[in-house]
Structure 1
């Protein structure tokens, strides 16, 4: 772990010069490719606006990035470990395989030993790492225009029904229910706080939500109804724009979002969301303050409901609203994310 985190400029310069002193201490995640690398990777260097830096492999994978096949960032730190090395190599060869403890036993490995070794090196177990890879591989296959059967095989599911069920738990519907001629396009967006799903048309952002939010499947179904079933997989210029703006936001270089957004809600709900957008980064408001600013001081509960109904996370900053007593209160993306976001935005406030 980095005891004192170097600045973005320092880490980016280390990436450009392939500085070996950061080996195993920092990794670069590249939003334009969805890949994370060692800073010494020999590949062509990405633009700074596409880069974020993390201290561990676990953080990179939790943010939704896949390991680079060229520099193999999951290997260097653990390459000398006789337990870790063969499993990482096996995972790279078969990222879609449905790994389980019986596989470890067949390889002559003790599952508990493997668990401890991977937690020590990567901050996650081998099985957790393998599950993330399967999810990423399957979704990427669909977003790249692949057929459902191809995505099923890529994700390592033996039966179509198991793949449909697993996929439906994430997006609220089976992959076959997505349109081949969509009006709205769903794509994977990587962030330091975990993967998000963005749904866009050719001009606007309709949904941006963390993949593990419990309400996400219901939100997606509502949007599917709005689009009359015409949601498919794919990336648009709007997807690229929001990815670039999120990269700037998390790197501390820009807190404003210019991506056009579609507001799906009642007139009052839309008024609340517009009020949220007006809260500067680094500042917070209470539900009662929002209600008063709207001229509806008695509508505190209605404001809270509208806040919770937000389905364009970060761009509509519902995380900037707290309880009257100063508590964080609920946040669909998890209170730990809300805390991290508020802490991150204190840097913007310090810059004025």
Structure 2
């Protein structure tokens, strides 16, 4: 019988030989993983172990999207893989037998295979995932009714009963977790980051236009206090930002949270598509999102980006080649573009035969 200390060491060593023998829930993120998961190993005090995936799900943990613990041990059937992928890709859907049939799945087969493999039916699996999502919403400051709708419950009483049965507490007793603010030293001065246990909400230079306004906007939008602190996400952000300035990282891989409109989010995604070391004009960016005449709105969205460097708005310049604007200051924009050009040139030279 493995004790928790041994199990933690197995996870820390990413030992896949124990896959399927036990699972680890991470209190700080609300996910559960299998041994061998490639994600950063959390602190031991944030870990809880389960004998099977069903226990983790019933405790309100969601399957990790990196190690896919629901597919272990062995090889899950093609049907189970298909349904898990469908649920993950469309988390807002309230799955019915009609939906399953529309996707070429026989409901009774889905029920039987999930029951055999995980000890719960497909509908029970979806319900547990939705309840875990509702708990996350409550911890992030959403109201009980918002969490209820997020979980797909029509009945408030039904939601309260299901929630209490799963988590051992009523929805109103879930404590709101704060957003954590941290600071990073860079060659261009200090950057401030705001994260929770799952996502990055803000990354900006401290010397920036309307930084205080951005902080107030976050507090208002999410109804969560902002307190100094560090967690796995803040440390991951720091590591990647420092790697960027060192020249060893060209593309960020971070879970981000944005507060923009659909248009703004489209612009920010287009910014992430600009290759490292290259630039685009505001007009070219407007064309990239399919709206040639929206270059002024594109420029406005660019200025509202709250994730400096991570969403590379510094790569957008005027059509004639002038730098244009940058909320952090044109000196920083010029430095960032020169830095990326130097790193790209060095990489190309090293790759040449």
Q: Which has the higher contact order (CA 8 A, sep 6+)?
A: 1
- Range of TM-score over shorter length: 0.3 to 0.5
TM-score (normalizing by structure 1): 0.48
TM-score (normalizing by structure 2): 0.48
Whose radius of gyration is greater, 1 or 2? 2
